[in-house]
Structure 1
Amino acid sequence: MSTSLDPVTLAVIQNGLQQVCAEMDVAFSRSAFSPVISETYDRSDGIYHRDGGALIAQGEDGLPVFVGTMQDCTAAVIERAKKVEPGDVFIVNDPYLGGTHLMDVKFVKPFFYKGELFCWLANTGHWPDIGGAVPGGFSASATESEQEGLRLPPVKLYKAGVLDDEILSIILSNIRIADQRIGDIKAQAAALTVGERRLTGMLERYGRDTVDDAIAELRRRAAQQMRAKIAAIPDGSYDSEAVVDSDGVVDAPLFIRLTMTKQGEELYFDFSRSSPPCEGPMNSVIATTRSSVYLAIKHIFPDIPINAGTFEPLHVADPDGTFLYARYPRPVSGCAAEVSQRIAEAVFAAMTKAVPDLLFAAPAGTSGNFSLGGLDPKTGRGFVCYLISGGGYGGHMGGDGLSNGCSTIGISKTTPIEVVEQRYPILYEEYALREGSGGAGKSRGGFGVRYKVRLRRGKARASFVMDHGRVGPQGALGGGDGAPNTVLVERGGETYTPLHLSKEQGIAIAEGDAITVETPGGGGYGDPRRRDPERCARDFRRSYYTADQIRERWGVVLAEDGSVDRAATQAERS
């Protein structure tokens, strides 16, 4: 550490950089038009190094899965950028250049201080539509990238602070509800402007050299902290597996097979035994695969600050020849929202074998992506509604899992029902906890949710890319799996479950048709027979489980008044 950089100044600058990102997040959300950004918070903002795009800081309320992908995307912009000047803003959503799926649109802006490039500012916002075969972009049966939407290489949308109308017109001519996108575009650019102002103020106060020294020192310390955590893990190799329901085209599971090796202060992740590239949109680009590992480790060691140093001891071998290393034109719309969570689940399962006391059973592990697009006859305007939903977290040593928690990859939340019903011709007929969905264990899994939406008027097309419909989230250390995801479509007086269970696209629905979704519960942690019988009785009184379920899963027998029949329970468990 520089002799002029005392610990107090270092801590202040660290928090100052974090605050810059947090203010960008808030500005983006407050000014965005689309509920998926303004209400759901499907976005992220960060600061990146001027030379290679390495992460300096990211907002705490941004989606964790973007932590790795945005630095890869920024690096791609730096590599392709020629002359840059203040006010330039690049737009890019190419999944194969450090992206995720096409709906995650990145803005990348060079930040200049006193005429010199100091760093890059970047953000990602989930646009509710980017063109393609179906409204919302989640084409569950796409077989090539072009069917998923408009793909943008790094191009300057703003040149010296001026919006390029020609580039904008190309974008707006290829997406649905184009008239509503300008609000999101200006919000996304405005967030970067806020970052410029706040970062300029920090540099004015502490000086360029001091902030530069602090950034380097913070990266060094993050790597040091991560290595210290890894050092406590026993050396060895640990295998695990996670399952993706299907690719949306071929009705067969995809397997993520991980060998995690710990050597000294380094962790190595080998996914080479995973399934080969798939026909449908569940391929993962390498940036998302790497970022999924990073976010999984950050879940396990949450106290380590996030910057590029955090990832230095984590080595992800390129899983070439598998569906976790997609190349053009493989479709990838499910990679960020779904496959990423299966990758994280595989990491959790491997780490459970290495350090069981730190781990937890698998969470719901699906974002529940549900898009509905059509024309509202009342307003005469088109709409694209994008919904995500929560699920149960896994049980852990300290207690039961959280119910209706956000997805593994994000801090995003479900759009408020009132906002959805106000903005779109949709009626929620039910939104409730999915009792009984948590996996059995000494600590049970949390509950998913059950909701039902009905189209109030007009016609629309529904698409969804979800997961965990074939098998539920994994239990840990003898715990049971959580309940799997289910989807039920009521259309024209008939009810059916999609062939691929959790994936379908372009379902034509009319006024009065409805779709019911039940999200997964978390896995159970530990031997169910070791759960305190009184906790089982409490769950029964709260109507979480029936008496039969409690007896079957935990071996606890309840009397007619709901109290524990201890003699019968002892006999049942013996």
Structure 2
Amino acid sequence: MVSPGKLEIFRHSLKGIVEEMGVTLQRTAYSTNIKIRRDHTCALFDSELRHIAQHDIAPQHIGSLVSVVPRNMRDRDDLEPGDGILINDPYKGAVHLPDVMLICPLFHDGEIIGYAANSAHHVDIGGPTPGGIPTDSTDLYGEGVIMPGVRAVEDWEYDEEMLGLITRNVRSPEMRVGDYRAQLGANRIGEERFGELYEEYGADALTEYLDELIDYTERLVRSNIQELPDGVYDASDYMDGDGINDEELLVTLTIEIDDDEMTLDFTGTAAENEGPLNCTPAMAFAGTMAVVMSLLGGDLPKNEGFYRPFEIITPKGSMVNPTDDRPVAAGWEIAIRAGDLVTKAMADVLPEETIAATKGIICNIAYGGRDPRSDDDEYVYYETVGGGYGGRATKDGMDGVQAHYQNTANSPIEELETEIPLYVRRYEYIQDSEGAGRQRGGLGIRRDMEFYDHRSSFTVLSDRTKNQPWGLFGGHAARAANYVINPDDDPEVVSSKSTTKLDPNDVASVQTPGGGGYGDPLERPPEDVLEDVVNEKVSVEKAESEYGVAVDLEDRSVDEAATRELREEVDR
């Protein structure tokens, strides 16, 4: 029996390894998406392919690594020290093609003692659209390079022919090579540090500690589930069309809590789509589990023991478990909405812990063209844009952030304007985009970009233009998304799944949703409404019509008599 103190030291030793792997990957990567936005994660598995530690930077990658590594490494008997396996195949447990995983066996005295793995979102993976996010693909082959689990590394060096084959099929190959090498460096750190831990503890003690840590995690998670009321809870929402067809699509989730176990069931969700709005079971798993982790609370270890009390049901042939080789480029859009459905389903039984709807989109954006500043060199850039967080029982929703598992940063203006030939003409919160509430939702973001002196492509692979983020307990819905070309001069609204060819000096405007409100807006303290009006987050008109508050902007004060009358009138 391992003492609690020693187990905690061991647990954080593992955590320290994956965190150092993550820092190595981030600081040696070439692309903004990894080095600045941190769209990557690292993990360790033991010799039995049990998940034993995970870097917390990007929770969305939990689902892919947990799914991919055991499934694809269990029957491989051809591995040698220093090998590396590249995989991004959604139908072998991965997610969408830009998220490429590198898995390396870790050896000691000729025996495998574990595996180091990481996943990083590559800015381009080939295919017809710069950025690896085609909006009208009808099969997986149209979405980029598929890596089914190929040995690309031997003796800790990439096979240059293999790497050359991959990068010949993508845009900006030199930058892509830099990111692949950063992934290898991260796993090499994992090998060194895990080897040191193995030497310190020895094989028998290491196994004992791992067994105890995984079992302890399972007991802890089961105990936390038992604190939730037993029952069956459900929620649903609609997605925009799939990029090919314009029909709205149902996502439904039923949560069953039975003692110390939880089932998350997507039965009833729309059938698989012709276009790229499909997600793999790994994506659905990650989308729901990231939110469940938060609802359970506490600094819970992330390893195989965490997942044992959960069952995820994704019916085959639905858009959360498509049949082989359906397109999945937009799958994360479904997964993040699934996270919102967890909070909606649990709202009545966990009103203090839940939140109203977030922006509910990943908001994949990509740009591509030839840079007039550098002899027309080809460029490609990928990012996601934040939006509103949902209002909570005691706090407003955060403005302009990523939501749930999407723990990536908004690209800084300086980075954008340095990397690619554009000017950011507007970068601001969208006034009145919040869902009104006792605790209002967060504001969405507007980012207008002028692509100067060249033709470029502007790709949006997103959602939430048709259905607004919902409020809770009387809170109002937030403003939906909007994507516009030349918004201030002959505006052209484009679809949430579209690629537009821009003429020189055209402006592309990305306008993300706000977050839903929590509680009756008429219960919001007038002083808080005044502050929002003064800060230009809420207009005077909306303060009156939805919050029932009369604001005198000149005096920066609340007209209390008029407010009483307004609230009585609005309440009627």
Give TM-score scaled by structure 1 length. Answer: 0.95
Partner of 1:231: 226
Distance 2:254 2:89 in 1: 29
Quickly say closer, same or farther: Cα 1:494–1:568, change in 2 above 3 A. closer
Q: 1:568 aligns with which of 551, 562, 565?
A: 562
Q: Secondary structure at the match of 2:347?
A: helix
Q: Secondary structure at the match of 1:355?
A: coil
TM superposition shift of 1:126: 0.9
Distance 1:360 1:511 in 2: 42
Quickly say closer, same or farther: Cα 1:197–1:249, change in 2 above 3 A. same
Distance 1:351 1:206 in 2: 43
Partner of 2:41: 44
Residues 144-163 of structure 1 mapped to structure 2, 5 A cutoff: 144-163=139-158
Please tell me whether residue 526 in structure 1 is matched to residue 519 in structure 2.
yes
Partner of 1:35: 32
Partner of 1:180: 175
Residues 13-28 of structure 1 mapped to structure 2, 5 A cutoff: 13-28=10-25
The amino acid across from 2:566 in the alignment is E
Residues 112-191 of structure 1 mapped to structure 2, 5 A cutoff: 112-191=107-186
Partner of 1:548: 541
Contact 1:13 1:211 (C-alpha < 8 Å) held by counterparts: no
Partner of 1:270: 265
State the Cα deviation string for residues 268-295 of structure 1 (Å, max 9, x = none): 1221111111111110111111221211
Give TM-score scaled by structure 2 length. Answer: 0.95
Please tell me whether residue 245 in structure 1 is matched to residue 240 in structure 2.
yes
State the Cα deviation string for residues 482-526 of structure 1 (Å, max 9, x = none): 21111111299742101x3x2202x11122011011111111111
Partner of 2:417: 421
Q: Secondary structure at the match of 2:424?
A: strand
Q: 1:76 aligns with which of 62, 71, 74?
A: 71
The amino acid across from 1:295 in the alignment is A
Q: 1:356 aligns with which of 351, 367, 386?
A: 351
TM superposition shift of 1:168: 1.6
Please tell me whether residue 445 in structure 1 is matched to residue 441 in structure 2.
yes
Contact 1:238 1:354 (C-alpha < 8 Å) held by counterparts: no
Distance 1:470 1:448 in 2: 15
Contact 1:260 1:269 (C-alpha < 8 Å) held by counterparts: yes
Distance 1:361 1:209 in 2: 48
Contact 2:102 2:183 (C-alpha < 8 Å) held by counterparts: yes
Distance 2:503 2:208 in 1: 61
The amino acid across from 2:121 in the alignment is H
Please tell me whether residue 458 in structure 1 is matched to residue 454 in structure 2.
yes
Please tell me whether residue 284 in structure 1 is matched to residue 279 in structure 2.
yes
The amino acid across from 1:261 in the alignment is E
Distance 1:117 1:175 in 2: 33
TM superposition shift of 1:461: 1.4
TM superposition shift of 1:80: 4.9
Distance 2:297 2:190 in 1: 25
Q: 1:392 aligns with which of 375, 388, 392?
A: 388
Partner of 1:403: 399
Contact 2:88 2:147 (C-alpha < 8 Å) held by counterparts: yes
State the Cα deviation string for residues 216-245 of structure 1 (Å, max 9, x = none): 222222222222222122221112012212
The amino acid across from 1:511 in the alignment is P
The amino acid across from 1:528 in the alignment is P
Unaligned 5+ segments in structure 2 are: none
Contact 1:36 1:42 (C-alpha < 8 Å) held by counterparts: yes
Distance 1:479 1:388 in 2: 27
**Percent identical:** 30
Unaligned 5+ segments in structure 1 are: none
Contact 1:377 1:457 (C-alpha < 8 Å) held by counterparts: yes
Which shifted more, 395-404 or 226-235? 226-235
Distance 2:245 2:209 in 1: 51
Which shifted more, 201-210 or 485-494? 485-494
Partner of 2:324: 328
Contact 1:46 1:122 (C-alpha < 8 Å) held by counterparts: yes
TM superposition shift of 1:111: 1.0
Contact 1:482 1:523 (C-alpha < 8 Å) held by counterparts: yes
Distance 1:169 1:300 in 2: 45
Which shifted more, 562-571 or 78-87? 562-571
Partner of 1:305: 301
The amino acid across from 1:58 in the alignment is Q
Which shifted more, 64-73 or 488-497? 488-497
Distance 1:208 1:395 in 2: 49
Quickly say closer, same or farther: Cα 1:493–1:529, change in 2 above 3 A. closer
Which shifted more, 485-494 or 270-279? 485-494
Partner of 1:504: 498
The amino acid across from 1:152 in the alignment is M
Partner of 1:260: 255
TM superposition shift of 1:354: 2.4
Partner of 1:430: 426
Aligned residue pairs total 565
Please tell me whether residue 473 in structure 1 is matched to residue 466 in structure 2.
no
Distance 1:346 1:176 in 2: 36
Distance 1:162 1:372 in 2: 32
Quickly say closer, same or farther: Cα 1:571–1:491, change in 2 above 3 A. closer
Contact 2:454 2:505 (C-alpha < 8 Å) held by counterparts: no
Please tell me whether residue 383 in structure 1 is matched to residue 376 in structure 2.
no
Distance 1:68 1:214 in 2: 24
Partner of 1:196: 191
Distance 2:136 2:477 in 1: 28
Superposition RMSD on alpha carbons, in Å? Answer: 1.7
